[in-house]
Structure 1
Amino acid sequence: MEQHQPNILVVTYPAQGHINPALHLAKHLAADTKGLLITFSTAISAHRKMFPESTEPDQEVEDGPITYIPFSDGYDDGFQRDKHDGKQFRSRFKTVGSNTLSAIIQNLEHRGRKVSCVIYTFFVSWAADVARQHAIPSVQYWIQPATVFAIYYHYFHGYESVVAAHSHDPSYPINLPGLSPVQVRDLPSFLTIKPDDPYAVVLSMIRDSFEGLDREETKTKVLVNTFGQLEADAILAVDKMDIIPVGPILPCKGGVSRGDLLKEDEKGYMEWLDSKPENSVVYVSLESLAVLKKQQKFLILKGLKDSGRPYLWVVRRDSGLEGVELGDWDGDGDGDNGMVVGWCSQVSVLSHPSVGCFVTHCGWNSTMESLASGVPTIGVPQWSDQPTCAALAEKDWGIGVRSEVNGDGILEGGELKRCLDLVLGDGERGVEIRRKVEFWKDKATEAISFGGSSDKNLRTFVDQITGYDPNVSSVGFWKDKAIHRQHCEESESASPS
C-alpha cells in the first residue's frame, strides 16, 4: 500500500480570535512533528488580510510544511452588516463553505497530499460533516476555556430554561454539573441575549457545533487550549467527551504569516518599552474586534493619566485616534509617559520586563498570553467568553481583577485608576496577585515543555490520528479519570491558596 505523508487540515472561522489560536496550533504541529504536513484554511476575506502583499491574494501560499489554502464562504469581501442579510449568513456560510472545503480536500488528494485529519474551530462545525463525507477523522479545537465549553454543553443539555428564567438577574448563581456556581453576569454573553438580537445567530452556530459533537458515534475527543492543572474540574465536567488539554498554545516565531488581520504599527514601541522601569508599564488593548466609543476612549485616557504610570495603548487606526480629545493629547500619546499604536505584537509586549499590567477585554487568547507571560490583568469584559474569562482570572486563579462599569457599560476613569492602584500597588492584594500570576506562569511553562502534560497530550493525539510516530514516549491523555483526579489533587496541594 502506498504511504502518504500525514497531512492535517486546520479549518477556522475568518476572525482574529479564531485564526490566532488555530494558526499557533498549526505551526506547533508542523514544528514539533518531523514529516507532518499542515494545510491551513480560512475564508478568502481573512486570507487576503493575512497575505496583503500577495500578487494573487486568493491563491494558496506555500511555507515549508504549511500550505495556506482559503475556502470561499460566500462573503469573499467579508460580511458587511449594512450590505448583507444577517438572517442568511448562517446557511450561506455553511453551504458555500462546505462545498469549497470539499473541493480543497479532493484537490489535495489528487496532488498526493491526502488529508489524514481535519481540525476545526467551533464556528465551522460543518467541517466535520465534510470530513465525514470523505471518510476522514475530525476533531474540534475548542479555543475558549474548558469552563466555557462545559457551560455551553450543560446549557444545551438541560439547563437552557434555568438560565433563561434568571437572565435578568446578574448576581443569580447558576449551578452546573462539575462546576462551581457561576453568576449570570459571568456566563458567556450569548446565553443571555434576546432572540431578536443581531448576534443571536452566534448562539445558533455554537448550538450547531455541540449538536455535531453529539452525532459522533464514539466518545468524542475535543482539543482545548488550556492545561490540566488550570481547569481540572472543567476538564472532567462533561463525562460524554474526552476533553484533551493541549495549551497554552502560544505563537511560534517565523513563517510567512503571523496571522494578524491588522497591520502592525511601525513605531518603535519595543524600544520605548526598553526605556521604562521593570513592571511599570500599563498595556491597554481593547479593540481587536470591538471599536471603543469616543467617550470610552476619553475616560480610559483620563484614568491612565491620573494614575501617573507609563502606558502603551493599542487603538485601532480604523477606529479613529482623532476621536479622543483630552488636554494636549494629540493622538500620539502623552510625551515620554505614554505611547499609542495602531497594532502591535502582543506576545512581544507582554513578554517585555517593563510591562506590569494588562488592561484587556479578557478574550481567551489574551488571557492565556498574559498568564503565560506572568502579567496581571484588569478585565473589562464585553461579550462572548470574556465575562467568564474575567471571572476565572479574578476568582479562581487570583491573577487579576475585574473592573466595574457604569449603567451604560462604560469604564470610568476613576475605576480604571482604582484597579491600577490595586494591581500595581504595594498593598496586600496587589502583592498576592503578582505572586499568583508567577505561580501560574511556571505551571503553564511546565505543561507545554517537552514531557509536560499538554505536550504529551498533543503528541499522543498526533500519533493516534495519523499513525505517525513522533519518536517520543507518549503516555496519552488521562484515560482513567480517577488517575486524572489524583494528579490534579496532588498538583493543587502545591497551588497558591
Structure 2
Amino acid sequence: MEHHFLVVTYGYQSHVSPALNLSRRLAHVTGARITFSTTVAGHQRMFPASADQEVHDGPISFIPFSDGQDDGQRNKDRKDFFARTRSVGSDSLSAILRSLDSRGQPVTCVIYGILLSWVADVARNHGLPSVYNWIQSATVFALCYHYFHGYDRFVSSHDDPQVPVTFPGLLPLRIRDLPTFLTITDMEHPMALIRKLFKEDFDVLDREASTARVLANTFEELEADALAVRGRDLKMMAIGPVMSVNGPNLFELDEQRYMQWLDSKAEGSVVYVSFGSFTTFKKRQAEEIARGLRATGRSYLWVVRKDNGEEVKGLVREETAAEEKGMVVEWCAQVRVLSHAAVGCFVTHCGWNSTSESLACGVPVVSVPQLAEQPTNAKLLEVWGTGVRAETDSEGVVEAAELARCVESVMGEGEKAAEIRRRAEMWKDRAREAVAEGGSSDRNLRAFVEEMAEVRVN
C-alpha cells in the first residue's frame, strides 16, 4: 500500500513552517502522499483565496481542520481555547480521515505536532499509528522528559536564575537556561498551561512507548547526547534541519524589495533583526534596538510585524527615515535572507526555527531570548560557539550599548569574532551533510518510512 501521511499542526507560523517542510521532504525523499492539515484560520492565511477549501500543491494536499475558532479570533480564556480545540478538532479530524478513506485514499500514518496530544487519540480510534513531530531542540525534549519523570520538584525548589542544574546526560545549565514553561511557579501564568499541554504530550508517549516514534528537527552530529535521553522503548529519530527557502509564510512580504536591497550590500555587512512570529516589541525595547543598531554603524534589515502596534512602527519609521543604512519590513522569507551573502549577523529571540536556520545558513547570532524554550536555545548557541547572549536590564530590555557590544563581538575583527564565524561555517557544513543524500538525517527519514510500513495498531 502507498504511504499516505496526514500531518497535523497548529496554525502558527512557528508550527506550520517545520511541519510543512517535513511534509515536502517526505514527499520528495519517499514519494509518499501527504495531506497537510492545520486550523481553518491558519489555512486561510496560507491560501487567502481558498477560504476553508481543499488545496493541492504537487504531492501535498491541504485540508484544514476546525478548532472551533475558524475566524482566527482567539478566546481570551486560554484554557477554554485549548479545551475547545481538543473537542472540536477531534471531530473535525475524524471527519477528514473518513473522507479520505471514502475516496480510496486511506491514511496510513498520522504525524502530529507539539501540544496536540489529542491527535494521537484520534489516530488510535481509527486504527492508525501516530508519530510525534518534535519541532524544538532535542535538548529541550530531554529537559521535558526529565522534568515530567521526577525532576519537577528539583526545578521548582530553586528560584535563583543563576543556580546550576544538572540533568543526566545533558550539559550543565543554570535555572535561567531552562525553558520558562518549566520554571514558572504562578499557575495563572500562560506558561503554566503550556506546561500542562506538554505533560499531556509526554503522557501519550509514555502510554504508547513500545510503538511511539518521535521525529526531531535536529541532527545527530549536533545533539547526540540529548537524543539519547528518552524512555527505554521510545524511538527518537533526528531528521533535521527541515527547512526551505520557499516559505511557508502566514504573513505578507515584499520579497523583491528587501532582496534587491541585500544585493546592494557588501558580503557579511548586514545585521538582520527578527524576533519571530510571536514576540512583539515594547516601545522602550524598540527604542533601544534602534539606537543600538545605529551605534554599530552597520547596515541592518529589521522585521517589525504589523501587530507591534502603530506607536512602535511609527517610532521605528522615524529612526530609520533619515539614514540609508536601515530597512524595516513587516516580514521576511527568513531562510532566503539568512542564506544571502550580505548577512553577517542575526539578532534573534532564539526560537528553534530561527536557531536551527542560523546554524544551517552559517550565520553568527546575537541571542535575545524572551520565553518558552528560547533561553535554552540561546545557551546551546553559546556551547556550539556560534553566538553570544545579550544581557537584559531589570525590565527585561536589552539596552542599546549592550546590543551594539554583542553585534561587534560577532561581526568585528577580533579573534573571538573570527572564531564565532569559523564555528558558524563548520556547523553549516555539518547541517548540510546531515540532510544530503546518505547523511544521518536522510538515512533516518528513509528508515522511519520503511519502519512505518510494518507498524500496526492493536
Residues 315 and 321, structure 1, Cα contact 8 Å, conserved in 2: no
- Counterpart in 1 of 2:29? 32
Letter in 2 for 1:391: K
Letter in 1 for 2:61: T
Alignment counterpart, residue 206 of structure 2, candidates 181, 199, 214: 214
- Counterpart in 1 of 2:53? 59
- Counterpart in 2 of 1:410? 397
- Counterpart in 2 of 1:420? 407
Alignment counterpart, residue 242 of structure 1, candidates 211, 220, 235: 235
- Greater fraction helix: 2
**Range with bigger deviation, 262-271 or 303-312:** 262-271
Name the CA shift for 1:219/1:182 in 2 (closer, same or farther; >3 Å): farther
Structure 2: distance between partners of 1:284 and 1:358:
6
- Counterpart in 1 of 2:372? 384
Deviation at 1:320, TM superposition (A): 3.3
Cα RMSD of the aligned pairs, angstroms, is 1.7
Paired residue secondary structure (1:231): helix
1:185-264 correspondence runs (5 A): 185-193=176-184, 194-240=186-232, 241-251=234-244, 253=246, 258-264=247-253
The answer to whether 1:298 aligns with 2:287 is yes
1:16-415 correspondence runs (5 A): 16-34=13-31, 36-54=32-50, 57-81=51-75, 84-166=76-158, 168-193=159-184, 194-240=186-232, 241-251=234-244, 253=246, 258-265=247-254, 268-320=257-309, 322-323=311-312, 330=318, 333=321, 335-394=323-382, 396-415=383-402
- Counterpart in 2 of 1:492? none
- How many residues are treated as equivalent by the alignment? 453
Letter in 1 for 2:238: P
Which consecutive residues of structure 2, in runs of 5 or more, have no partner in the other structure? Answer: none
Deviation at 1:90, TM superposition (A): 2.4
Paired residue secondary structure (1:178): coil
Name the CA shift for 1:239/1:206 in 2 (closer, same or farther; >3 Å): closer
Residues 365 and 386, structure 2, Cα contact 8 Å, conserved in 1: yes
Deviation at 1:251, TM superposition (A): 1.2
Structure 1: distance between partners of 2:417 and 2:310:
32
Residues 36 and 63, structure 2, Cα contact 8 Å, conserved in 1: yes
Residues 164 and 192, structure 1, Cα contact 8 Å, conserved in 2: yes
Structure 2: distance between partners of 1:225 and 1:95:
28
**1:186-235 deviation per Cα after TM superposition (whole angstroms, max 9, x unaligned):** 00011122211133211111111000101005153211000001001101
Letter in 2 for 1:358: F
Paired residue secondary structure (1:335): coil
**1:225-273 deviation per Cα after TM superposition (whole angstroms, max 9, x unaligned):** 00001001101122422221001111164xxxx3311111356111111
Deviation at 1:91, TM superposition (A): 1.7
Residues 249 and 333, structure 2, Cα contact 8 Å, conserved in 1: no
Name the CA shift for 1:278/1:141 in 2 (closer, same or farther; >3 Å): same
Name the CA shift for 1:252/1:297 in 2 (closer, same or farther; >3 Å): closer
Name the CA shift for 1:219/1:138 in 2 (closer, same or farther; >3 Å): closer
**1:296-350 deviation per Cα after TM superposition (whole angstroms, max 9, x unaligned):** 1111000000110000001012323652566x95366553211011111111100
**Range with bigger deviation, 84-93 or 317-326:** 317-326
Structure 1: distance between partners of 2:227 and 2:292:
38
The answer to whether 1:13 aligns with 2:10 is yes
Name the CA shift for 1:307/1:101 in 2 (closer, same or farther; >3 Å): same
Letter in 1 for 2:448: F
Residues 350 and 375, structure 2, Cα contact 8 Å, conserved in 1: yes
Structure 1: distance between partners of 2:327 and 2:310:
12
- Counterpart in 2 of 1:487? none
**Range with bigger deviation, 427-436 or 70-79:** 70-79
Structure 2: distance between partners of 1:43 and 1:420:
38
Paired residue secondary structure (2:324): helix
Residues 305 and 331, structure 2, Cα contact 8 Å, conserved in 1: yes
Letter in 2 for 1:172: V
Q: When the two structures are superposed, what TM-score results if normalisation uses the length of structure 1? A: 0.88
Letter in 2 for 1:45: A
Structure 2: distance between partners of 1:11 and 1:331:
42
Name the CA shift for 1:295/1:217 in 2 (closer, same or farther; >3 Å): closer
Residues 245 and 333, structure 2, Cα contact 8 Å, conserved in 1: no
**1:425-468 deviation per Cα after TM superposition (whole angstroms, max 9, x unaligned):** 11111111011111111110110000000000001111221369
Deviation at 1:13, TM superposition (A): 1.2
Q: When the two structures are superposed, what TM-score results if normalisation uses the length of structure 2? A: 0.95
Deviation at 1:98, TM superposition (A): 0.9
Structure 1: distance between partners of 2:261 and 2:370:
30
Q: Which runs of 4+ in 1 moved over 4 A?
A: 331-334
